[in-house]
């Protein structure tokens, strides 16, 4: 493919952050096209997961991001498909309901609905703690970081802005989040600067 790769991104968006970190970390050359998704609603970001797969085919990226080994790849794929209705949906809904919607549209938070969204998100985070991280490996699939980890971590950062600490009471998730950050810094922290800034002091966050 030509070098004219352009990334239209907004670091307020979780999948946008995952893609941006990935491009920076793998040194794939691209043109930065910063957009404001809140204002530029006509921009079509297409599907992040499909874009990541395409980049892994077209550029020499280290194998661990999307393993060539068929069984390992199937396990990465399993997470990538699963997350749409789970990590992606649950963390984003909670953030939007608790933080974005009141600020953008002046809507009130209904406590019983808030409780419901929180419970859904917690059940998803508990599932990750138990199933995806319960096997004792360092990352979701094996000992090295893959797309699955990066996408997951970026989603799980999001509710921090609404004052929710996803790591509290989840020791495996806590350690794994730190590993994902270590493996992708300084880009991880750069991408999450606004998240850390908006998250209240009650949520543990790195001192930048």
Question: 39 near 13, Cβ under 8 Å?
Answer: no
**Residue 200: CB minimum distance to its own copies, A:** 29
H or E element in which residue 91 lies: helix 87-95
Choose which of 58, 126, 175, 182 interacts with its own copies (CB under 8 A).
Answer: 58
Q: Residue with structure tokens 């543990």?
A: 204
Is residue 53 part of the contact set for its own copies (CB under 8 A)?
yes
Is residue 73 part of the contact set for its own copies (CB under 8 A)?
yes
Is residue 175 part of the contact set for its own copies (CB under 8 A)?
no
**Residue 167: CB minimum distance to its own copies, A:** 26
Question: In sequence order, which ranges of 96-192 are alpha helices (DSSP H)?
Answer: 101-105, 111-127, 147-157, 171-184, 187-191
DSSP codes, 29-84: --EEEE--TTT-TT-----HHHHHHHHHHHS---GGGS-SSHHHHHHHHHHHHHGG
Question: 132 near 79, Cβ under 8 Å?
Answer: yes
Of 116 and 174, which has the nearer Cβ to its own copies?
A: 116
Residue 22 token pair: 């990935």
Is residue 80 part of the contact set for its own copies (CB under 8 A)?
yes
Choose which of 33, 36, 40, 84 interacts with its own copies (CB under 8 A).
Answer: 84
# chain residues binding its own copies, by CB under 8 A: 23
Give first-to-last CA distance, the chain, whole Å.
37
**Residue 100: CB minimum distance to its own copies, A:** 18
Site for its own copies in 90-149 (CB under 8 A): none
Of 127 and 187, which has the nearer Cβ to its own copies?
A: 127
Question: 24 near 55, Cβ under 8 Å?
Answer: no
Is residue 1 part of the contact set for its own copies (CB under 8 A)?
yes
Is residue 60 part of the contact set for its own copies (CB under 8 A)?
no
Is residue 46 part of the contact set for its own copies (CB under 8 A)?
yes
Of 77 and 144, which has the nearer Cβ to its own copies?
A: 77
Is residue 33 part of the contact set for its own copies (CB under 8 A)?
no
The number of residues making up the chain comes to 208
Site residues (CB under 8 A) for its own copies?
Answer: 1, 46-51, 53-54, 57-58, 70-71, 73-74, 77-78, 80-82, 84-85, 89
């Amino acid at each position: 493919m030509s070098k004219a790769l352009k990334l239209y991104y907004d670091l307020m968006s979780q999948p946008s952050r995952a893609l941006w970190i990935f491009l920076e970390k793998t040194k794939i050359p691209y043109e930065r096209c910063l957009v404001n998704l809140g204002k530029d609603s006509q921009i079509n970001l297409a599907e992040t997961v499909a874009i990541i797969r395409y980049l892994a085919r077209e550029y020499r990226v280290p194998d661990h991001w999307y393993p060539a080994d068929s069984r390992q790849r199937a396990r990465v794929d399993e997470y990538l498909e699963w997350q749409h209705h789970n990590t992606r949906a649950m963390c984003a809904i909670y953030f939007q309901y608790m933080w974005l919607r009141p600020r953008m549209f002046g809507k009130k938070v209904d406590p019983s609905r808030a409780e419901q969204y929180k419970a859904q998100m917690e059940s998803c985070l508990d599932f990750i703690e138990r199933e995806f991280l319960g096997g004792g490996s360092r990352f979701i699939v094996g000992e090295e970081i893959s797309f699955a980890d990066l996408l997951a971590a970026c989603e799980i950062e999001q509710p921090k802005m609404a004052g929710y600490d996803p790591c509290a009471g989840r020791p495996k998730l806590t350690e794994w989040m730190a590993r994902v950050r270590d493996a992708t810094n300084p880009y991880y922290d750069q991408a999450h600067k606004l998240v850390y800034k908006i998250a209240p002091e009650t949520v543990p966050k790195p001192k930048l």
